[in-house]
Structure 1
């Protein structure tokens, strides 16, 4: 059985149990208009798949805002503040880590949100995407206090739900950061997607996110992504959602929970 057949089979399992899997697309590290960003936006337009751009506030330019102004299926999330590593040399890279005073980190995040809101208006959602998908656990409960209603990292959600904050993660990374730093390949990407969908069906029931980095994508990666979205549109058990929809849906649900 091919990986494409495995994807179709997993979608059929969702249909068989009377449910539909939610899929969403996040792309990280946007700051300015580049040829790579143009490639991403062209693919988004061609496939009509909503995309959430994680934008670095301290680097975001008017050129970025201009090229997004007429694209209703593109949402903007906040990608930290400056995407600068503050970890000691022996530790994993992190901007929002425990190595600086919490008030300094939160102050940067607040300034970053104001900058994004001024630049992009209602296109920007108060959803935080930590650079390198890492954030100090002690900072998370304070995010609603500075205006964030969502958090998006990578992997299965492990944090307890908090009132006023929903975590909707990505699960399939198209880039092999620990190896070639290029496209992971179709087999690996599809295998990871099928595994994530199965885990959602059997346990979490959470949306499954695909993560791209337009600045690291090559032609093979773009071709795969195009083929995958075209395939997903044909599978009844899968549904493509925007970040705006997912965080609005989840936000209303978490409002009923304590913690």
Structure 2
């Protein structure tokens, strides 16, 4: 387990090597404006850090779009289509972007979802796919660039920066919620251990240019008080540590990410 001092020590190793460890912040399951979103945006504003929201297109409301227009530097990523589990009841892991339905139906929904995000959020929406539950069938990944997506973001260390031609993968590595243990905060020591480990792994990358950005994953609709307190402390501390920087998703995925996905033909629900 790690401490705040361990994070400071890791940041110092980056600084002493003349490099900068890149952090980024992704919050999942955004659908509407409300008190939890306001709390999230307040932390972002107080710490002056960049935030990306993974928005569920089929559930996104005009109220959410209106609220984010007042925060134009918040990036919007596409969180699947409806965040609906299509896996069989016998399967342990939930999945929306799997092979349980025809691929053209899945891709058609994603195209419909992009149109919804583009209509609601305009230039704030990036062509980055965040699969619900961080799961996508491997055979579907190569199809994402074919319908215009330039980025993919799941959870855990990526195998390679570009899993397929035309697609950049930038993941999250620190989930603040203990989904298997009561859905409360995973704990300060565990969260910091995951963060320090991911930073150390990125620092060890060779060549240095291939160092993976380290993502912090929050869920504003599901977090308890301890998770909120940790999130605020993390960004307040990280912004003043030499050797670390917090990057917006837009910069990480490059300006090419904002190009509009093309629609695919085929049957789509919703």
Q: 2:225 pairs with 219, 230, 235, which one? A: 219
Please give the alpha-carbon distance, in whole angstroms, between the structure 2 residues aligned to 1:130 and 1:81: 9
Q: Hey, what does 1:114 align to over in structure 2? A: 115
- SS of residue in 1 equivalent to 2:204: helix
Alignment of 1:32-51 (within 5 A): 32-51=32-51
Q: 1:220-243: CA deviations, max 9, x gaps?
A: 211111111111111111010000
- SS of residue in 2 equivalent to 1:126: strand
Please give the alpha-carbon distance, in whole angstroms, between the structure 1 residues aligned to 2:232 and 2:201: 24
8 Å contact kept, 1:25–1:211:
yes
Q: Hey, what does 2:266 align to over in structure 1? A: none
Q: Hey, what does 1:141 align to over in structure 2? A: 142
Please give the alpha-carbon distance, in whole angstroms, between the structure 2 residues aligned to 1:218 and 1:17: 37
Alignment of 1:231-246 (within 5 A): 231-246=237-252
Please give the alpha-carbon distance, in whole angstroms, between the structure 1 residues aligned to 2:166 and 2:229: 38
Alignment of 1:67-82 (within 5 A): 67-82=67-82
Equivalent residue pairs, number: 251
Deviation of residue 250 (structure 1)?
9.0
> Which of the pair is proportionally richer in helix?
1
8 Å contact kept, 2:2–2:196:
no
Q: Which shifted more, 215-224 or 110-119?
A: 215-224
Alignment of 1:167-186 (within 5 A): 167-186=169-188
Q: 2:253 pairs with 241, 247, 253, which one? A: 247
Q: 1:170-225: CA deviations, max 9, x gaps?
A: 00000000112011111111111001101111136110000000011122211111
- SS of residue in 1 equivalent to 2:54: strand
Q: Hey, what does 1:202 align to over in structure 2? A: 204
Q: Hey, what does 2:106 align to over in structure 1? A: 105
Please give the alpha-carbon distance, in whole angstroms, between the structure 1 residues aligned to 2:154 and 2:256: 15
Task: With the length of structure 2 as denominator, give the TM-score of the two structures.
Answer: 0.90
Alignment of 1:9-24 (within 5 A): 9-24=9-24
- SS of residue in 2 equivalent to 1:138: helix
Matched, 1:229 2:239: no
Alignment of 1:22-33 (within 5 A): 22-33=22-33
